[in-house]
Structure 1
Amino acid sequence: MTRSVLISGGGIAGPSLAYWLGRSGYAVTVVEQAPALRSSGGSPVDFRGDQMDLLARMGIDDEIKAHQTGMGDQIVVDRTGRRVSTLPSALLSGEVEIERSDLARILYDRSKGVAEYRFDDAVTALAETPDGVEVAFARSPARRFDLVVGTDGPHSGVRRLAFGEETFFRHDLGLYVAGFRIPNDFGIVHGGVVYNEPGKFVMVNSGRDTTTALVTMIFASADRDDHRHSVEDQKRLIAGHFTGAGWRVPALLAALQDTPDLYFDSISQIRLARWSTGRIALVGDSAWCPGPGGSATGLAMLGAYTLAGELALAADNHVEAYQRYERVMREKAATSQRTAAWTVGTFLTPGTERGIRIRNALMRVASTRPLIAAFEWSSRRGGARTGTLTGYPLAGTHQPLPAPHAR
């Protein structure tokens, strides 16, 4: 009998899990609250080390390389625009970097043949029964599924319904991030510029689409409710934190007022004692959410691969599979969280002028040829923090698809 799985979240972890489970014969449904896939843009994500093996197993490594940003070094400047150091591309961009929207489309294209997608809908209620989970939706009729997996990000609706309110599990790092696109008036081609003041970080870079530039602004704030404000409130808040800053920040703040696609959120981690309850499990940012610098995308895809693999090994005993999945992924997620907390809190946004000077001095040393080679070696060998992939009995991309299952 074919088992049915509902995956809530159509970003990265969801389609990855849909791919592996769908190819293994599960009846997979993916529900996504957005009306459609985002067609362009998105912050860049990178892969390195053993994550490259995972891309190859999915058969998407060549397509990702064909759409890579080609991002080079990031130039660090002072308030006058004078170059003071360099962040090597091997440190920030891994072995291959791709915009999130391009990756999401690739994963969707790979999985849509073995999964049913429902956009513009969301899970509104979960009720577990002895033989499944009764799921209510915002727009669709209620349905029963054998298993439910939440891959719907740090503000996961599935986690809220099955585990409790977000405030119980959210650990704020005391920082907020804003991202928006502007016309590329900086002349940046496959590179970027970084500017810091104490507790503030600004980066402008341009990758595959050199006609536009992505602006990222990070700042320290103790207000846990900043991300709940309206978009106009968020813009005023960002401007308030960066008013008076040097370099070309005033022009960026002017462009911020006109942007139609502002992303704004707290930089927070999700910490749960367990990632499953009954027939319901969590994968990716809904389960652990490391934050910037924690290889979150690769880790989410690894989590999807691991959960699908453990279900295959456990012969569909979901209780055993969920437990084994957690044992495999728990330390990897904890390491990723520690790395992200240091990266964003110490390396990207030093809290003092002295900290900025020390970071810049270290980067000047790191930009020498021997250390760049060391960064590249570390990126290939250990930078992914995922470890060697387990050889699960999963139908890979070069194996035939299972017989179509009834919807």
Structure 2
Amino acid sequence: MRTVLISGGGIAGAALALLLRRGGFAPVVVERAPGVRTGGQAVDIRGAALDVVDRMGLLPEARRMRTRIRGMSMLDADGREVERSTEYALSSGRLDSEDIELLREDLVRSLHEHTRDDPAVEYVFGDAITSLHEHEGGVRVGFAHGPERDVDLVVGADGQHSGVRRLAFGPAQDFTRHLGSYLSVFSADNFLGLEDWQVWLRDGDAGFGIMPVRDNAELRIAFGFESGPLDGDHRDTEWLRRLVVDRLATLRWESDRLVKAALEAPDFYCDALAQIRMDQWSRGRAVLLGDAGYCASPLSGQGTSLALVGAYVLADALARTPGDHRTSFAAYETRMRPFVEANQALATENPGGPPSEESMTRAKNAITLPGAAR
């Protein structure tokens, strides 16, 4: 049984582990965090990704986990409602769509639960890949904490700041296209008393969207602000937290409670909005998946769908030519690249707002899936 080492236990990595196992491989998932990550924004499963989730047998479960938003309000900088809709929400699009919005942590947990008890699937938490040395027949992989391993293939599903990409291809700046802003996501108690209703506000070069989750007991706050690339460590949570707190403090509405929430949130997250653009996604026995190879940014609304579709296409390609990774990787890229390009374009076509409904419909369906992964 061929061993595939997957760096990253998020949506892309966990989905690939499930699909590879069904194809007869032995996946090993290495995740830097000490356990399955919690927190994060609501994400969307759209178009071709719905078909992927259906083929995985997880569509009914995904529908049960979907958010229950009834509508949204647009507020001015002082918190006064200037527009409302019960047909559309900025986080998800049309509320009568077949597309599914759910919390990122719920999707990751579901994917993990469907693989964690399989003896052929291994999860290694609290560790990270530090070296890759390809040799005849495989790759010797070094880790920050665990012993070296020999594996057949390595998949970088480790996000925008991929360590596998750095080791196999070079520094991040060679492939990163900054989109002019930063996004922070964190949780708080429902201090606004929202009931299945989200609110959006813009104040100068900053703004936020707030939606209730967990039967309206909790809020997920997505705060963004315009900025060029900042000189700091993307893993320095406290530096990023202070940066966000300083920006929140300048808002005219609810700034005090938003600052308090950002300071206290155990799941605080912040990163630059950027895209990853690469001429190829594989080198030798290493290949990239999801944000590691083709991050479209949250502005596209399609990061989760790209991860799910990419995992399916890669697993299918590996299952079709199990002893020939070069042919598998080439087939994966040939099928995925037009889909990736269509969805990355969503983030840049309308910098001041979400993609148009017409563009989203076209992009989310811009791929024909191969037959069921074996």
- TM-score of the superposition, structure 1-length normalised? 0.84
Q: Give distance in 1, aligned partners of 2:25 and 2:237.
A: 40
Matched with 1:275 is 281
Q: How does 1:5-404 map to 2 (within 5 A)?
A: 5-38=4-37, 40-86=38-84, 88-89=87-88, 92-93=91-92, 95-112=99-116, 113=118, 114-226=120-232, 228=234, 230-294=236-300, 295-342=302-349, 345-347=351-353, 382=362, 384-392=364-372, 394-395=373-374
- Aligned sequence identity (%): 38
Pair 1:5–1:333, CA change in 2 (3 A) = same
In structure 1, C-alpha distance between the alignment counterparts of 2:343 and 2:201, rounded to whole Å = 25
Compared with structure 1, are the counterparts of its residues 77 and 280 closer, same or farther at alpha carbon in structure 2 (3 Å cutoff)? same
Q: Deviations over 1:242-283 (max 9, x none)?
A: 443222234312332333332011111111111000111000
Paired with 1:278 and 1:384, the residues of 2 have a C-alpha distance of: 30
In 2: Cα distance, 1:391 partner to 1:228 partner: 39
Q: Which moved more, 1:324-333 or 1:86-95?
A: 86-95
C-alpha distance 226-220 of structure 1, shift in aligned 2 (>3 A): farther
TM-fit CA distance, 1:33: 1.2
Distance of aligned partners of 1:229 and 1:303 in 2 relative to their CA distance in 1, 3 Å threshold: closer
SS at match of 1:92: coil
Question: Which deviates the most, 166-175 or 107-116?
Answer: 107-116
The structure in which a higher percent of residues are helix is 1
The TM-score, its normalising length taken from structure 2, stands at: 0.91
Structure-1 separation of matches of 2:305 and 2:185: 21
Equivalent pairs counted in the alignment come to 365
**Partners of 2:242 and 2:90 in 1: CA distance:** 33
Question: 1:71, 1:89 within 8 Å by CA — same for their partners in 2?
Answer: no
CA shift, 1:378, in A, is: 8.7
How many Å apart are 1:312 and its aligned residue? 2.1
> Secondary structure of the equivalent of 1:272?
coil
Give, in angstroms, the shift of residue 342 of structure 1. 3.8
- 1:383, distance to aligned residue in structure 2 (A): 5.9
**Alignment-mate amino acid for residue 56 of structure 1:** D
- Alignment-mate amino acid for residue 391 of structure 1: G
Q: CA deviation at 1:333?
A: 1.2
Q: 1:145 to 1:97 in 2, by over 3 A?
A: same
The offset of 1:213, in angstroms, is 0.6
Amino acid at match of 2:7: S
**Could you tell me how far apart the structure 1 residues matched to 2:288 and 2:250 are?**
43
Give, in whole Å, the separation in 2 of the partners of 1:228 and 1:303.
Answer: 25
Cα distance in 2, alignment partners of residues 250 and 91 from structure 1: 25
**How many Å separate the matches in 2 of 1:161 and 1:378?**
35
- Root-mean-square deviation (Å): 2.3
Give the Cα–Cα distance (whole angstroms) in 1 for the partners of residues 312 and 237 of structure 2: 36
Tell whether the 8 Å contact from 2:78 to 2:253 is kept in structure 1 after alignment: yes
Unaligned runs of 5+ in 2: 94-98
Larger radius of gyration: 1
Distance 1:100 1:46 in 2: 9
Residue type of the alignment partner of 2:53: L
Q: Which secondary structure state, in structure 2, belongs to the residue aligned with residue 121 of structure 1?
A: coil
Shift of 1:3: 1.5
Q: Aligned residue for 2:96?
A: none
Question: Do the aligned partners of residues 69 and 256 (structure 1) sit closer, same or farther apart at CA in structure 2, a change above 3 Å counting?
Answer: same
The structural deviation recorded for 1:162 is 0.8
**3-state DSSP class of the match of 1:299?**
helix
Q: What amino acid sits opposite 1:326 in the alignment?
A: E
- Structure 2 contact 342–366 (Cα < 8 Å) conserved: no
Tell me if structure 1 keeps the 8 A contact 2:154–2:286: yes
Distance 1:174 1:332, change over 3 A: same
